[in-house]
């Protein structure tokens, strides 16, 4: 059926049909139609909402994301028909039934994911099927290659290209802001793509955005890396392994991280930027994604195996994941902390040691340091100021202000200090609760929001000394964070009263209330 | 945040927020918000689309289905906030991890499904998890009870209440149109709810709608059943076990039918109408849902076991499912065929025998016929005209015209007869292809559309005799069906040429074309 387009400014991947037109082509709400652009001859598939009044019969409302995909002008004529059932649904069904998927089947699924042919529900079915019927290493390799092929790729004229990845689960992990300039200062190329926080308080992209813009095309990432040796950009803007963003959206309500998906997502992004030397940071700890060192070593072997299949050298570092890295959570607080280290601060040791260890691995892998000398070489690059100088070049090439200093980064103006109610040791510092607090305060959207932890686990504090400070850009957010803090009690000092429970039988005035 | 409502006539379960307001409360497209009606104090949860221009800041667009749920007037003030993550997501995750769900957890999930708290993607995750990690019988019982409790229930003052169900997979299965009047004519109560076709050419509700309206509330179903003994209505309008409709929507792209879900859906609908005697028709055959008699008997035992747990007596009939029942596919054609049998037609025997067998089982279960006499009693009720008389009462009580006759039901005016190209036996009659043909012709939406099969499998036909006739209400639909017929070849006559493949090297005029 021929329909005339009308743009509708709604962020939704579908189209809007008049109920009468929908009946005519036998589709219902939620069904899939194929919309063909008469000029280009190209078709996109889209899901249907219907209306009886918003548009007349003969008109199709094109929501904004669909507009981008089909690329038609307002008032253009398009051909609309009920879409065929995608063959990839049968492949997904196959995986549900516990069968293995071949290379072409996996590629077809990922192509349909990226082209928005599959609905979020259909993608969910795929993800859940691969979670309950885990992918074997052949399938993981197919998936990795499919994720690479369905997105942009960088092609550098010379090797090595190095990269690093932290599989997450530990807060305050701002090490990329140190590792990238150290590696680039050593004369290596490191085109680092990173993510924004989804459930956390700040992703590496959120931190870097405090210092410079982070949204670039794949080509720009390549050009900037060739120019200064490294970048720290937001992967979401590059269209590198774009299927990953779709997976994350589906996985996050369930907090699942299907092993095969995770391996493929990480390695696809490294492969697509052309990296051939990769260090993977695997934080280990009861509250991270990897509960113990044995699990960590197993995962490491899988990364290394997958890397070999793809022609990449991978080394993994099992790191301590029980405690936050450094003292800060939240975009500005973390960016300030990392920049201060580049400027010469000798604290916090947890941040500096972890960053130098990872950087050291990459320096050794690439031959820029002799075996066993990586840490020392990284330390020299940092303490000599060369890493700071490189970071300023990176900030500048990404369009930020290279004269920025840590002192110039001012976190949220609304603050609240939580003091130790008693003298004793900090016996508990709940990472998840601290993240909730930072998010309640507005992080990551409000860049100044976050938490500064003065006394980490094991530290002795005296009564009245600060344990942590909450920062917020907006006053009502600070209020919300305080409520969250009272509810979650993220820090416990030994000997401190956790709560006072008044007697049920005595009211303020001594009145006796009934039960 | 307080926002003012504006109704938006779009059939979608969400709400529309201005991008600025969405940022303010930290939600993104696809996130969940809680919308609280200030007057009633009630909250509903809804998914967010955003816009930068369609509505101003301070206004929330309420899509039509959301409007029904929250029940606010245009211009009302509502409180909108980012919704908490539903606890049921953790239960779904638990099932993904292969653990068993308890009664309360299952009830909470089904409640969130019915209340639209869970998104289609989240529901998909639940369905896929129960498909890959099958429910045990305790879980199936919990699910059945949860599906009953989250919908309407009928409460008749006296027993028995009888019911029947066909688990599907065989086309043309119009037996309810005979069984219900026979059973009601025997003095029993049979409040039959039925479904519309989803992937088929006509569901029982689609057939009945040719004769009378089928959309009634649960209370109306009860009142009509008390008045005339039986009804044949569309279950979708009754709000009986409403979770089932949601399940079906999710399952149908994948053509899955998770065993536990299927058992629960069937039995919940029987339990909710108050039935205590139930006959289940299990068509067995390579192309149905149950490939052989052993599988059929296993499924039958599960239905019987679940029935016992719920206090219902269940008997199952394994029936021949390889061939269509009767000669017709499509709403009007099937309704006409069934009505003709009620009027006294002695053909088609496949339809008559199957209907009498099932009715006979119910008559014996209820004591209306002695053991072994059910078929004969049913036959007597049919041939005496009492079943026709009862059907007219049912049609009348549902608001149809009781003077209707089979001769008065006229199928689609556009027809095309496919004749046998050679003399021989019909060796193949592909049910799936016939259904595709009927759907291409417009069924079930176009009630006159469908297929009449003159020569079923095993019949001898002479060259030039009709094999099947395609009917359509609209001419272009007939054209589409013919194209589909040529593609699918639903009927094969032994000895007939399946296709002619011309020599590649000789064109019409004898020219030689290059390869």
Average pLDDT, chain A: 91
pLDDT of A502 > 80? The answer is: no
Q: Residue A514: pLDDT band by 50, 70, 90 thresholds?
A: very low
Contacts of B98 in chain A (CB under 8 A): 132
Q: What is the pLDDT of residue B487?
A: 82
Residue B199 among known ligand-binding residues: yes
**B52 — contact with chain A (CB < 8 Å)?**
yes
Where in B203-312 does DSSP place strands (E)?
230-234, 277-284
How far is it, in rounded angstroms, from Cα A382 to Cα A400? 21
Among A125, A133, A197, A250, the strongest candidate for a mutation testing the B interface, having the largest count of B CBs within 10 A, is: A125
Contacts of A53 in chain B (CB under 8 A): 9
Helix locations, A443-501, DSSP H: 475-488
Partners of residue A79 on adjacent β-strands = A2, A36
Residue A412 among known ligand-binding residues: no
Contacts of B442 in chain A (CB under 8 A): 26
Tell if the CB–CB gap between B254 and A85 is shorter than 8 Å: no
CA A276 to chain centre: 22
**B125 — contact with chain A (CB < 8 Å)?**
yes
How far is it, in rounded angstroms, from Cα A116 to Cα A342? 43
**B256 — contact with chain A (CB < 8 Å)?**
yes
How far is it, in rounded angstroms, from Cα A176 to Cα A197? 15
How far is it, in rounded angstroms, from Cα B175 to Cα B357? 10
Q: Residue A496: pLDDT band by 50, 70, 90 thresholds?
A: low
Q: Model ipTM? A: 0.83
Q: Residue A171: pLDDT band by 50, 70, 90 thresholds?
A: confident
**Identity of the residue in B12, B30, B120 whose CB atom sits nearest the CB atom of A121:** B120
pLDDT of A167 > 60? The answer is: yes
Give the least confident one: A99-108, A485-494, B273-282, B488-497. Answer: B488-497
DSSP B314: E
**B23 — contact with chain A (CB < 8 Å)?**
yes
Q: Residue B288: pLDDT band by 50, 70, 90 thresholds?
A: confident
How far is it, in rounded angstroms, from Cα A439 to Cα B451? 61
**The sheet that has A450-453: what strands, in order across it?**
A328-329, A450-453, A466-472, A414-419
Tell if the CB–CB gap between B445 and A23 is shorter than 8 Å: yes
Establish whether B305 is a catalytic residue: no
Residue A371: count other Cβ atoms within 10 Å of its Cβ.
Answer: 8
Measured between CA atoms, how close is B488 to chain A, in angstroms?
A: 16
Residue B195 among known ligand-binding residues: yes
Tell if the CB–CB gap between B128 and A129 is shorter than 8 Å: yes
pLDDT per position as a tens digit, B325-371: 999 999 999 999 999 999 999 989 989 999 999 999 999 999 999 99
pLDDT of A507 > 70? The answer is: no
Mean pLDDT in residue range B47-71: 91
Among B23, B128, B206, the strongest candidate for a mutation testing the A interface, having the largest count of A CBs within 10 A, is: B128
Average pLDDT, chain B: 90
User: Please, are residues A209 and A331 in contact by the beta-carbon 8 Å criterion?
Assistant: yes
Contacts of A135 in chain B (CB under 8 A): none
Residue at token pair 């005519």: A24
More confident residue, B314 or A84: B314
Q: List the catalytic residue out of B138, B245, B257, B305.
A: B257
Tell if the CB–CB gap between A26 and B442 is shorter than 8 Å: yes
**What domains does chain B contain, in order, with CATH numbers?**
2-82 (2.40.40.20), 88-133 (no CATH), 162-406 (3.40.1030.10), 414-493 (3.90.1170.30)
How far is it, in rounded angstroms, from Cα B110 to Cα B132? 19
pLDDT of A512 > 50? The answer is: no
Mean pLDDT in residue range B77-82: 92
How far is it, in rounded angstroms, from Cα A202 to Cα A172? 8
pLDDT of B163 > 80? The answer is: yes
Give the least confident one: A28-32, A50-54, A286-290, A443-447. Answer: A286-290
Tell if the CB–CB gap between A120 and B125 is shorter than 8 Å: no
User: Please, are residues A382 and A360 in contact by the beta-carbon 8 Å criterion?
Assistant: no
pLDDT of A212 > 80? The answer is: yes
Q: What is the pLDDT of residue A503?
A: 52
More confident residue, B368 or A197: B368
Measured between CA atoms, how close is A139 to chain B, in angstroms?
A: 18
Residue A22 among known ligand-binding residues: no
pLDDT per position as a tens digit, B394-403: 999 999 999 9
Q: What is the pLDDT of residue B507?
A: 38
Q: List the catalytic residue out of A31, A245, A257, A305.
A: A257
Among B88, B254, B445, the strongest candidate for a mutation testing the A interface, having the largest count of A CBs within 10 A, is: B254
Residue A348: cis peptide before it, omega within 30 degrees of 0: yes
Contacts of A54 in chain B (CB under 8 A): 8-10
pLDDT per position as a tens digit, B469-495: 999 999 999 999 998 888 887 877 776
- Give Cβ neighbours of residue A103 (< 8 Å, ≥ 6 apart): A142, A145, A146
pLDDT of A499 > 60? The answer is: no
pLDDT of B106 > 90? The answer is: yes
Residue B495 phi, psi (nearest 5)? 90, -15
Sign of the torsion formed by the C-alpha atoms of A291, A295, A300 and A306:
negative
To 10 degrees, what angle do helices A293-310 and A259-272 make?
Answer: 50
pLDDT of A510 > 60? The answer is: no
Tokens of A31: 């069904």
pLDDT of A163 > 80? The answer is: yes
Give the least confident one: A247-256, A504-513, B250-259, B393-402. Answer: A504-513
pLDDT of A513 > 50? The answer is: no
Nearest CA in chain B to A51: B10
Mean pLDDT in residue range A460-488: 90
Q: Residue B385: pLDDT band by 50, 70, 90 thresholds?
A: very high
Q: How far is CA B470 from CA A120, A416, B492, in A?
A: 37, 77, 16
Residue A494 phi, psi (nearest 5)? -55, 135
Contacts of B119 in chain A (CB under 8 A): 120, 253
Q: Residue B456: pLDDT band by 50, 70, 90 thresholds?
A: confident
Residue A356: count other Cβ atoms within 10 Å of its Cβ.
Answer: 24
User: Please, are residues A409 and A335 in contact by the beta-carbon 8 Å criterion?
Assistant: yes
Mean pLDDT in residue range B47-51: 93
Residue A166 among known ligand-binding residues: no
Mean pLDDT in residue range B69-75: 86
Pairs from A94-101 (Cβ < 8 Å, separation ≥ 24)? A95/A126, A95/A129, A95/A130, A95/A133, A96/A125, A96/A129, A96/A133, A96/B128, A96/B131, A96/B132, A96/B254, A96/B256, A98/A133, A98/B132, A100/A136, A100/A138, A100/A139, A101/A135, A101/A139, A101/A142
pLDDT per position as a tens digit, B403-443: 999 999 999 999 999 888 888 888 778 888 889 899 999 99
Q: What is the pLDDT of residue A505?
A: 45
Partners of residue B492 on adjacent β-strands = B428
Tell if the CB–CB gap between A124 and B129 is shorter than 8 Å: no
**Identity of the residue in B10, B98, B132 whose CB atom sits nearest the CB atom of A49:** B10
More confident residue, A366 or B321: A366
Task: Count interface pairs A-B at CB distance under 8 A.
Answer: 113
Q: Would strands A414-419 and A460-461 be described as parallel, antiparallel, or unpaired?
A: unpaired
Contacts of B123 in chain A (CB under 8 A): 121
**Identity of the residue in B52, B132, B255 whose CB atom sits nearest the CB atom of A129:** B132
Which residue in A223, A213, A158 sits closest to A191, CA to CA? A223
Mean pLDDT in residue range B75-96: 93
How far is it, in rounded angstroms, from Cα B116 to Cα B113? 5
Nearest CA in chain B to A257: B93
Count Cα atoms within 13 angstroms, Cβ side, for B339. Answer: 23
pLDDT of B168 > 50? The answer is: yes
**Identity of the residue in B11, B52, B256 whose CB atom sits nearest the CB atom of A93:** B256
Q: Would strands B59-63 and B2-8 be described as parallel, antiparallel, or unpaired?
A: parallel
Q: What is the pLDDT of residue B506?
A: 41
Residue A199 among known ligand-binding residues: yes
Q: What is the pLDDT of residue A105?
A: 97
Contacts of A124 in chain B (CB under 8 A): 121-122, 124-125, 128
Q: Residue B502: pLDDT band by 50, 70, 90 thresholds?
A: low
Q: What is the pLDDT of residue B500?
A: 53
Q: What is the pLDDT of residue B30?
A: 84
Tell if the CB–CB gap between A30 and B121 is shorter than 8 Å: no
Mean pLDDT in residue range A369-374: 95
Question: To which H or E segment does residue B262 belong?
Answer: helix B259-272
Residue B476: count other Cβ atoms within 10 Å of its Cβ.
Answer: 10
**Identity of the residue in B10, B29, B132 whose CB atom sits nearest the CB atom of A54:** B10
Residue B444: cis peptide before it, omega within 30 degrees of 0: yes
Q: What is the pLDDT of residue B512?
A: 38
Tokens of A291: 């509960």
pLDDT per position as a tens digit, A409-438: 999 999 999 888 888 888 778 888 899 999
Partners of residue A33 on adjacent β-strands = A46, A82
């Amino acid at each position: 059926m021929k329909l005339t387009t009308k743009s509708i400014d709604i962020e939704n991947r579908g189209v809007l049909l008049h109920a009468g037109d929908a009946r005519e082509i036998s589709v219902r709400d939620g069904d899939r139609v194929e919309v063909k652009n008469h000029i280009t001859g190209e078709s996109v598939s889209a899901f249907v909402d219907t209306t009886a009044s918003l548009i007349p019969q003969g008109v199709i409302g094109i929501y904004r994301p669909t507009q981008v995909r089909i690329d038609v002008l307002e008032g253009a004529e398009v051909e609309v028909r009920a879409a065929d059932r995608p063959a990839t649904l049968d492949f997904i069904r196959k995986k549900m039934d516990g069968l293995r998927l071949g290379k072409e089947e996996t590629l077809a699924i990922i192509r349909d994911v990226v082209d928005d042919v599959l609905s979020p529900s259909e993608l969910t079915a795929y993800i859940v099927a691969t979670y309950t019927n885990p992918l074997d290493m052949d399938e993981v390799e197919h998936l990795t290659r499919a994720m690479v092929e369905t997105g942009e790729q960088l092609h550098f004229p010379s090797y090595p290209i190095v990269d690093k990845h932290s599989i997450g689960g530990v807060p305050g992990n701002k090490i990329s802001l140190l590792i990238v300039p150290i590696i680039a200062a050593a004369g290596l190329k490191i085109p680092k793509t990173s993510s924004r926080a989804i459930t956390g308080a700040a992703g590496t992209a959120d931190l870097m955005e405090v210092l410079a813009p982070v949204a670039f095309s794949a080509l720009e990432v390549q050009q900037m890396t060739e120019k200064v040796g490294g970048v720290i950009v937001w992967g979401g803007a590059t269209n590198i392994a774009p299927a990953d963003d779709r997976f994350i959206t589906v996985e996050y309500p369930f907090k699942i991280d299907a092993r095969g998906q995770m391996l493929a997502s990480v390695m696809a992004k490294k492969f697509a930027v052309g990296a051939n030397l990769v260090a993977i940071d695997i934080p280990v700890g009861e509250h991270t994604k990897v509960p113990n060192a044995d699990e960590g070593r197993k995962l490491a072997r899988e990364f290394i195996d997958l890397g070999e299949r793809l022609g990449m050298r991978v080394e993994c570092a099992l790191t301590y994941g029980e405690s936050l890295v450094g003292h800060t959570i939240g975009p500005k607080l973390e960016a300030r902390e990392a920049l201060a280290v580049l400027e010469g601060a000798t604290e916090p040791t947890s941040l500096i040691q972890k960053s130098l260890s990872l950087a050291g691995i990459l320096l050794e892998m690439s031959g820029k340091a002799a075996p066993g000398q990586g840490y020392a070489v990284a330390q020299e690059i940092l303490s000599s100021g060369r890493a700071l100088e490189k970071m300023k070049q990176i900030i500048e090439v990404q369009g930020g202000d290279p004269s920025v200093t840590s002192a110039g980064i001012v976190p949220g103006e609304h603050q609240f200090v939580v003091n130790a109610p008693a003298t004793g040791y900090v016996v508990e510092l709940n990472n998840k609760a601290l993240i909730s607090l930072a998010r309640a305060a507005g992080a990551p959207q409000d860049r100044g929001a976050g938490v500064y932890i003065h006394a980490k686990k094991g530290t002795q504090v005296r009564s009245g000394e600060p344990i942590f400070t909450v920062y917020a850009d907006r006053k009502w957010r600070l209020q919300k964070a305080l409520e969250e803090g009272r509810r979650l009690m993220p820090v416990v000092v030994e000997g401190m009263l956790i709560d006072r429970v008044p007697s049920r039988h005595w009211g303020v005035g001594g009145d006796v209330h009934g039960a």
